Amino acid sequence: MKSVTLRISRFDPARDTEPHFEEYTVRVNEGARVLHALHAVRDEHDPTLTYRYCCGSGQCGSCAVRVDGKPVLACMEEARDGMTVEPLDLPVLKDLMVDLEPVIAKIARICPAPDAGLPAREEIEAIKPLRDCIECLCCVSACPALQVTDFAGPTVLRQEMRLALDPRDSGDRITDAIEKGLFYCTTCKRCTEVCPKEIDIPGKAIEKLREIANRRGLTLPRHQEVARLIQETGRSVERTQPTFLEQVPEVIEPDGPVRGEVGFFVGCMFNGRVPQTALDAMEVLKRNGIRVIVPHDQVCCGSPLIRTGQTSFVEDLKKKNIEAFARRGIKTVMTICAGCGATLKNDYETPFEVKDVTEVLTEYGIEPPAKLDITATYHDPCHLLRGQGIREQPRTLLREAVREFVEMPSQCCGAGGGVRSGVPEEAKALGAKRDEAVRATGADVVVTVCPFCEFHIADCTDVPVKNLVTILLEGYRKKDAEREGGA
């Protein structure tokens, strides 16, 4: 037995105007789950504590709560001393019990055709990954799009795709899906992160539904424009200034001895819209002994197409890109765009390894820059944090480069998944939430590693937004200036 102290959000609509926290200390067995701690509170302290539970084994989806802010199944999450237990971010009925029924009611039911037979094996296998949902609504609680739009929720769209894949279903799932907010999803993958069954709703449902919508000509006009641009130019960004590729040779040799070599996948944003940041990155790599090979025949990675379901010529792009790097014998391809990186890692099958710049720099180790005299916070790009599982590396680098680093709760900025172009009012609303979070940190600068996040957050806040490589370069320049000044 061990002692666990927990804070529980209590709310009785008959008495309270708003929820409040109560703290309890209970004895629980080794390995006890959050649910068992709640049982102990109910049985030993307050029999009126209200929470839902049933199967106790992660199969019924009754007991989802937020523990330290993250939606989890109480019956599967281990109880921790000092934890805070709150209801899901849904209308609270009492204490930890929320109203699940309105969301469950939006989850579509199959409309079987009268002559429906057994699907084929491949059809069943395609449906299965979308069928594990236990309707716990962790994803609905966590989804940022739901905070600012009337998006029906990740699992609701999951079900639309499950039905779209079923030859027995006779419903019009695309029209349904669009009504339920198909284009509101920023593909931030927060839903997958909190899903007890790890269902990849953005990849396996949202993007696939958008593909079907695309085949029916229902892609948003702004997204179609981007697709046209890529098809015509190989790039998702129009040329308005000299591009990165126009400014650099194929091989960029480091200043000192060669410690390593990477191929550089530049990405459309860095190539066409913010080439200076990519040039900054080259300076940082040069300084740290890394040779960079830049195939000039690379094109758009296809991310803007895949995220919006316009996949008809994505295979061509993939082939061109893979050949561009493979032909030069490149073993490691580096990205500095979180979106390109996630796409190359997750949507490509590459004969080379793909690494984000923060992985490359932390693996080789960098020359310490002079610390900039600023307080910086860091915005986790969704496609880096969840798309590539990279959390620590950028923080490690940033801590080396600034006087003070302050954390900010991670949430999608609203730029991804074609939302910035397709549903600008949603992107703006999510950006405003980032602005609030940024200001709450009191930081002088917001640092990130994704050009889309950088661009979008800069639009939404007065606090300067900078790429991590630019910060590192500024640190090196400061170091050099101090040396010269000292000399």
Partner 1 sequence: MVLYNAPTNKMHVDEIVDAHVLVVGSGGAGVRAAIEASRYGGVVMVSKTIAGKGGCTTMAEGGYNAVLRDRDSIQVHREDTLKGGAYLNDPALVDALVTEAPERMADLVRWGAVFDVTEDRMVAQRPFGGQRFPRTCYAGDRTGHEMIMTLLDRLDATDTHLYQEVSVVDLVKDENGAVAGAIALDRDGNVILFRSDATVLATGGGTQVYDISTNSAAGTGDGFAMAYRAGAELIDMEMVQFHPTGAVYPYDARGRLVTEAVRGEGGILLNARRERFMERYDPERMELSTRDVVARAIATEVLEGRGTSRGGVYLDVTHLSAETIESRLPVMLEQFLAYGVDIRREPMEVAPTAHHIMGGVRITPECRTTLPGLFACGEVAGGVHGANRLGGNALAETQVFGKRAGEFAGKAPARSGRIDDAAIDERLRMLDGFFEGTVNPADVRKDLKLTMWNQAGIFRNAADLRAALEQIRRLADQRLRAASTANLLECCTVRNMCTTASLIVRCALLRPENRGAHVRRDAGVLTDPATSPFGHTYISLAREGIERREVAA
Binding site for partner 1 (CB under 8 A): 28-33, 36, 42-43, 46-48, 50, 52-62, 76, 93-94, 100-101, 104, 109-110, 112, 116, 118-121, 124, 127-128, 131-132, 134-135, 166, 168-169, 197
Q: Pick the closer one to partner 1 by CB: 29 or 241.
A: 29
Q: Are 191 and 201 in contact (CB under 8 A)?
A: yes
- For residue 313, the minimal CB distance to partner 1 (Å) is 33
Which residue is associated with the tokens 């939302």? 419
Q: Pick the closer one to partner 1 by CB: 85 or 188.
A: 85
- For residue 427, the minimal CB distance to partner 1 (Å) is 35
- For residue 41, the minimal CB distance to partner 1 (Å) is 11
Rounded Cα distance, 389 and 378, in Å: 16
- For residue 348, the minimal CB distance to partner 1 (Å) is 23
Q: Pick the closer one to partner 1 by CB: 168 or 478.
A: 168
Rounded Cα distance, 445 and 427, in Å: 21
Long-range Cβ contacts of 216-223 (<8 Å, 24+ apart): 216/174, 218/174, 218/178, 219/308, 219/309, 219/310, 220/183, 220/308, 220/418, 220/421, 220/422, 220/423, 222/418, 222/421, 222/422, 223/304, 223/308, 223/310, 223/418, 223/421, 223/422
Q: Supply φ then ψ for residue 70, to 5 degrees.
A: -100, 130
Question: Cβ-count burial of 347 within 10 angstroms (0-12 exposed, 13-18 middle, 19+ buried)?
Answer: middle
Q: Pick the closer one to partner 1 by CB: 93 or 429.
A: 93
The CA-based diameter of the chain, rounded to the nearest angstrom, is 87
- For residue 196, the minimal CB distance to partner 1 (Å) is 8
For residue 372, the cross-strand partners are 402
Q: Pick the closer one to partner 1 by CB: 94 or 477.
A: 94
Residue among 206, 150, 154, 155 at smallest CA distance from 179: 150
* Full strand arrangement of the beta sheet holding 251-252: 251-252, 290-293, 260-265, 332-335, 353-356
- For residue 8, the minimal CB distance to partner 1 (Å) is 16
Q: Pick the closer one to partner 1 by CB: 129 or 254.
A: 129
Q: Pick the closer one to partner 1 by CB: 197 or 479.
A: 197
Q: Pick the closer one to partner 1 by CB: 76 or 432.
A: 76
- For residue 210, the minimal CB distance to partner 1 (Å) is 23
Residue among 453, 365, 363, 465 at smallest CA distance from 415: 453
- For residue 110, the minimal CB distance to partner 1 (Å) is 4
Q: Pick the closer one to partner 1 by CB: 1 or 487.
A: 1
- For residue 195, the minimal CB distance to partner 1 (Å) is 11
Token readout for 351 is: 């004969």
Q: Are 254 and 285 in contact (CB under 8 A)?
A: yes
